[in-house]
Amino acid sequence: MKRIRLVLAAVIVAGALIYLIVGGIRGAIVYYTTPSELLAQGPSAIGRTMRLGGQVMPGSRRWNAGTLDLRFTLGDGNATVPVIHHGAPPDLFTEGQGAVVEGTLGADGIFTARSIIVKHSEEYRPPPSP
């Protein structure tokens, strides 16, 4: 009887650990929708909180330091979505760079971002020589 309790306790502890590990991994994964996927959802995407990822399109970045309004367009090669964010852009935020924004799509087709995560290249390049 004592051995059965010990095995049962070990199974419960192992199950709890597996549950915590899997839950932690799920929480760390960042899923995002591409502009093409967002537009394919049609009106059902309006007002839902989501993450949108893509490249900041060249020539689309508009920053108003007075009002702290940042406007830009995210694209994935097939579709583009205009984005507006109120607040200073991240330091590494540039055109042609990957970015993931979290927010909602409005009925006007503009994605209002609450946060911006800049995706940077994993390729290291030393600074140019003087």
Residue 129 is predicted with a pLDDT of 63
Residue 56 is predicted with a pLDDT of 94
Q: Is 86 annotated as a binding residue?
A: no
Residue 55 predicted with pLDDT over 80? yes
88 vs 63: CA distance, rounded Å: 9
Q: What confidence tens digit (pLDDT) does each residue in 78-121 have?
A: 999 999 999 888 888 889 889 999 999 999 999 999 999 887 65
Residue 101, strand partner residues = 52, 116
What is the residue-averaged pLDDT of the chain? Answer: 85
Residue 28 is predicted with a pLDDT of 55
Task: Report CA-CA distances (Å) from 89 to 1, 7, 66, 84.
Answer: 64, 55, 13, 11
Model pTM above 0.85: no
Residue 104 is predicted with a pLDDT of 95
| Strand 111-119 relative to strand 80-86, pairing | parallel
